[in-house]
Structure 1
Amino acid sequence: MRADARKNYDQLLTVASTVVAEQGANASLRDIARRAGVALATLYRHFPTREALLEALLRTGFDELAARADELETSSSPQDALALWLRECVTWAHEYRGVTELMVAAIEDAESALHASCVTMRAAGTRLLTRAQAEGTARADIDGTDLFALVGALSWLGDQPALAARAHHLFDVIADAILTSTTPHGG
């Protein structure tokens, strides 16, 4: 990629991160291009669809969450690793309003640009869950798909104005239902 094209690509992603955080997953592509200081055609040259832009934007976050799961797997107890990763995952997903619906749809659609990233993130959470289950500190009757669904549900709560104030409390309730220890996992 030429240096000027790389600069435009990076600028579009930086601006898209801000705009999607402000406006949600259905943010105006025209607004993203305008704020990035490029023509709309330049945005479409790099990202032919909204999903392609979101995939590029979200892939970094998914990769960071997968790497964080690896780090927690070696640095924390299974129970703490799962609780911390789950909280970080929900916080990250909530950062981009409306992305939860895309994630849930993409995990089932192998043709989606977001599919591979969602599968990687779900696999990272599944490893943490399986490790905690093997230790006996997580319920044995849930799997990675359930955990992914709970991330989506907990993220969705934060997007609802009437429920946003309850989101942290409800996270703690769900975490305590997943983790079998009597130690509270709130934070």
Structure 2
Amino acid sequence: MPGQRADARRNYSHILTVAEAEVAAHGADASLEQIARVAGVGSATVRRHFPTRQALLEAVFHGRVQTLCERAEQLGRAEDSRAALLAWLRDFVAYAVAARGLADTLAHESPAQESAPSSCATVLEAAGAPLLSAAIRDGAVKEHVTFHDLVTLTVGIALATENHSEPAPLADRLLRLAIEGVSPRGDS
């Protein structure tokens, strides 16, 4: 936004505020036309600021994703790598459940896909992968677990619970179940 005129910056901020509300209400499929109508601008103005739906969603989720990244950095200093990774995954699941549309956005990015350096998936991986690596190094997580596995698990939990009347407690229960497994200790 540097170098933009003041009215363009105001339009951007206003469109983003409206988009955040629309995505919260309707998820990743929020209508760009409805966003333009509510913002009181033309759809061309929305597309000038956000040329793709993905660009709009990345902007909507940017602040919260940064908070998750900061949390990963704090947890990276913890002595217990397993506890740090699990705390971050709980935060990740809680946010994915609370922020309608994020899970759907992440579900469409495969690990082989070349993401923009600032995409939610790329930024989250840069923050969370060191936590996973530390837990693997310490023998707290199996070596074959990938960061993409954890994102897929998180996305699956968020998508499976988003239409429940109280998705957060159910999502937390499903994450605990995934961590603990379904078999009693000793069974394979």
Is residue 142 of structure 2 the alignment partner of residue 139 of structure 1?
yes
Q: Which of 4, 8, 11 is the aligned partner of 2:11? A: 8
Within a 5 Å distance, the mapping from 1:1-187 to structure 2 comes to 1-75=4-78, 77-107=80-110, 108-110=112-114, 116-161=119-164, 164=167, 166-177=170-181
Distance (Å, rounded) in 2 between the aligned partners of 1:153 and 1:100: 8
Q: TM-score, normalised by structure 2?
A: 0.79
Q: Deviations over 1:99-157 (max 9, x none)?
A: 323313224432x5587431221232221112122233333331212112111112112
Distance verdict in 2 for CA 1:113–1:56, change over 3 Å: farther
The number of equivalent residue pairs is 176
Distance (Å, rounded) in 2 between the aligned partners of 1:12 and 1:163: 29
Partner AA of 1:170 in structure 2? L
Partner AA of 2:157 in structure 1? L
1:166 deviates by: 3.3
Provide the identity percentage.
36
Q: Deviations over 1:11-65 (max 9, x none)?
A: 2112211210111110111222232233322212211222221122223333332
Partner AA of 1:82 in structure 2? L
Contact 2:93 2:172 survives alignment (8 Å): no
Q: TM-score, normalised by structure 1?
A: 0.79
Cα RMSD for the two superposed structures: 2.6
1:75 deviates by: 4.7
Q: Deviations over 1:49-93 (max 9, x none)?
A: 222211222233333322221121125632222112101111222
Partner AA of 1:138 in structure 2? V
Distance (Å, rounded) in 2 between the aligned partners of 1:84 and 1:62: 15
Once the two structures are overlaid, the 10-residue window that deviates more, 162-171 or 40-49, is 162-171
1:10 deviates by: 1.3
| The structure with more helix, counted as a fraction of residues | 1
Query: Which runs of no fewer than 5 residues in structure 2 stay unpaired?
Result: 182-188
